[in-house]
Amino acid sequence: MERECEYVYSTADYQAWLKTAREPLRSASILAHDGGICRGELLALQWDCVNLDKQADERGFWGTIEIRRGLKRKERRRSIPITEDMAAALLGLKAQSKCQHVFTALYDHTQPLSRNTLADQHRTIMETCTFHPDAGLHALRHTFLAEAGRHTQNVRALQRLAGHSRIQTTMRYVHPDHTDVLDIASAVQQARAKTSGVATIWLQ
């Protein structure tokens, strides 16, 4: 089961984090924040799974990232749309990579990045800045899923985007309110009215 996290980055906190983070943590943070990709998946990501287009599509996406390696379980296999910020980060990583890995070692771009490098960079930020104690890549993934949950009630689609094996995990990110309930009831009534042909009764 995915580790629970309560902290969600505000826009200001996220921008401050990006200004503070050194590469490659900065690029990893963008991919976690905009795509919900976890650290293990980022470290295992290779260029054959990155489909980067030369221009954005009608939805504003620049291609897809296929998550196929570094998986905790088979349900984590998924396709992540690439945002403009993700595309810029990927182009920067591509310019220095000299191997099949997207994230490469600091001083030898022919080798994959060590997990310790991200951990060391994260530790430096937490020791020198005043971010929330839970700030980091996992919280950035959590922020993405929390925002996605506010924009959809399609739990199955959100589960697929997150790569969760259990729907109960995904449900933590979905918080329907009274307006959502009324919208559902209204949609049912409108659909029935169109097919039944029954006149609406107005109470005087």
Give the model confidence (pLDDT) of 126-181 as tens digits. Answer: 999 999 999 999 999 999 998 888 888 788 998 999 888 888 888 888 766 667 67
Inter-residue contact 51 to 64 (CB < 8 Å): yes
pTM of the model: 0.83
Average pLDDT, the chain: 89
- The confidence score (pLDDT) of residue 198 equals 53
Q: Report the range of poorest mean pLDDT among 25-29, 153-157, 184-188.
A: 184-188
- The confidence score (pLDDT) of residue 165 equals 87
Q: Which domains does the chain have, with CATH numbers?
A: 11-162 (1.10.443.10)
Interatomic CA distance for residues 80 and 87, integer angstroms: 12
- Per-residue tokens: 102: 């997207």
Instruction: With cut-offs at 50, 70 and 90, classify the pLDDT of residue 46.
Output: very high
Interatomic CA distance for residues 121 and 133, integer angstroms: 15
Instruction: With cut-offs at 50, 70 and 90, classify the pLDDT of residue 188.
Output: confident
Encode pLDDT of 115-125 as tens digits: 999 999 999 99
Inter-residue contact 140 to 29 (CB < 8 Å): yes
- The confidence score (pLDDT) of residue 56 equals 95
Other CB atoms within 10 A of residue 20 CB: 16
Q: Enumerate the H helices of 52-154 as residue ranges.
A: 84-96, 115-128, 137-151
Give 104's DSSP letter.
B
Could you report how far apart the first and last alpha carbons of the chain are, in Å?
A: 56
- The confidence score (pLDDT) of residue 7 equals 87
- The confidence score (pLDDT) of residue 74 equals 81
Inter-residue contact 69 to 44 (CB < 8 Å): yes
- The confidence score (pLDDT) of residue 193 equals 78
